[in-house]
């Protein structure tokens, strides 16, 4: 009797866990749909801005060059004596999202190992999971950001403007962002993105193909346009990285909770079979005892 009662309690506990994971899966699916819409909606603007900045940079006179046009494009510039690299690591506040945080933190640690200046520099973290990991690994964190699931563009713009100010003042040499890049619903990749000095991805393609910038004339001049568009491109790039990280987190949690729900269902069926066997053995034993007792009375 004790064995069947214990198995029945386990079946009930597994059923409760399955209901919880199923609910969390549905919540993650709902949040994923909203976050995906926000991430996909901002990509055309970001890509178009990249292309425009690339054309402007490549249309500058060759003797001046892009670096002379705007300090945000200058990798070699005057720095302060205590200038350091700055790295922003974007993780989640909550767990139960599979390998999401582990992949990002592993990529960050590989960056620190490959580039010692990043580990010795300023490390900023978004998400409690990243903060807990770096505290356990004895990696000092200079700033902790609480972005949440729905960060506004104003919040991200304030961060980007502060990074831009520090970069222009020579307080930091390089600004990098370690986050999960959203490609499709079935593919997300942890990436290390260089935010400053700004390197528009379209610039390399334009240079290799000759570029379409020769077909355009800019008014005002490319130098003046870069003064306005480059800070906007930095803001858009950081905002896109945060949106991609949020979408990837919801996908990872959705997949993890679906797997947990399926495993709980399988465990419940397996325990039910074990319970039925134990119950059948118990009934057989009781019948044998009754028959044996009746035979002894004859």
Share of the chain above pLDDT 90, in %: 48
Each residue of 117-146: pLDDT tens digit? 999 999 999 999 999 999 999 999 999 998
Residues 6+ apart with CB under 8 A from 3: 278, 282
**Tokens standing for residue 253:** 């949690």
pLDDT at 15 over 90: yes
pLDDT for 41 equals: 85
Of 81, 268, 74, 297, nearest to 174 (Cα)?
Answer: 74
Each residue of 52-100: pLDDT tens digit? 877 776 666 544 444 455 777 766 667 777 889 999 999 999 989 989 9
Each residue of 245-270: pLDDT tens digit? 999 999 999 999 999 999 999 999 99
pLDDT for 208 equals: 45
Count CB neighbours of 9 within 10 A: 11
238-244 mean pLDDT: 93
Question: Bridge partners of 180?
Answer: 190
pLDDT at 219 over 90: no
The pairing of strands 143-145 and 172-184 is: unpaired
Computed over every residue of the chain, the mean pLDDT equals 84
188 versus 76: which is more confidently predicted?
A: 188
Fold of 22-255: Pyruvate Kinase; Chain: A, domain 1 (3.40.1380)
Enter the pTM of the model.
0.81
Torsion of Cα atoms, 224 then 225 then 228 then 230, to 10° = -110
pLDDT for 170 equals: 87
Each residue of 194-203: pLDDT tens digit? 988 877 554 4
Share of the chain above pLDDT 70, in %: 86
pLDDT at 218 over 80: no
Torsion of Cα atoms, 126 then 176 then 153 then 42, to 10° = -120
CA 6 – CA 286 distance, rounded (Å): 19
């Amino acid at each position: 009797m004790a064995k069947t009662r214990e198995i029945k309690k386990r079946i009930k506990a597994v059923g409760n866990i399955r209901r919880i994971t199923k609910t969390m899966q549905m919540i993650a699916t709902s949040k994923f749909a909203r976050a995906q819409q926000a991430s996909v909606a901002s990509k055309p603007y970001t890509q178009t801005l990249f292309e425009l900045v690339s054309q402007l940079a490549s249309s500058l006179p060759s003797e001046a060059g892009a670096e002379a046009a705007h300090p945000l494009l200058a990798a070699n510039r005057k720095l302060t004596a205590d200038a350091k690299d700055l790295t922003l690591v974007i993780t989640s506040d909550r767990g139960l999202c599979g390998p999401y945080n582990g992949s990002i933190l592993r990529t960050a640690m590989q960056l620190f190992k490959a580039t010692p200046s990043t580990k010795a520099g300023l490390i900023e973290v978004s998400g409690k999971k990243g903060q807990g990991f770096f505290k356990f690994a004895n990696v000092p964190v200079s700033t902790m950001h609480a972005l949440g699931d729905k960060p506004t563009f104003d919040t991200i713009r304030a961060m980007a403007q502060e990074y831009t100010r520090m970069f222009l003042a020579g307080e930091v040499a390089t600004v990098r962002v370690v986050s999960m890049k959203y490609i499709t619903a079935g593919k997300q990749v942890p990436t290390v993105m260089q935010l400053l000095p700004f390197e528009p991805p379209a610039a390399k393609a334009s240079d290799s193909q000759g570029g379409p910038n020769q077909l355009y004339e800019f008014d005002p001049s490319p130098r003046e346009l870069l003064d306005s568009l480059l800070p906007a491109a930095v803001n858009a790039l950081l905002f896109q990285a945060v949106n991609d990280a949020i979408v990837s987190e919801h996908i990872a949690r959705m997949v993890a909770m679906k797997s947990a729900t399926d495993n709980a269902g399988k465990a419940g069926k397996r325990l039910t079979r074990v319970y039925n066997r134990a119950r059948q053995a118990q009934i057989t034993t009781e019948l044998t005892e009754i028959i044996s007792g009746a035979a002894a009375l004859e």
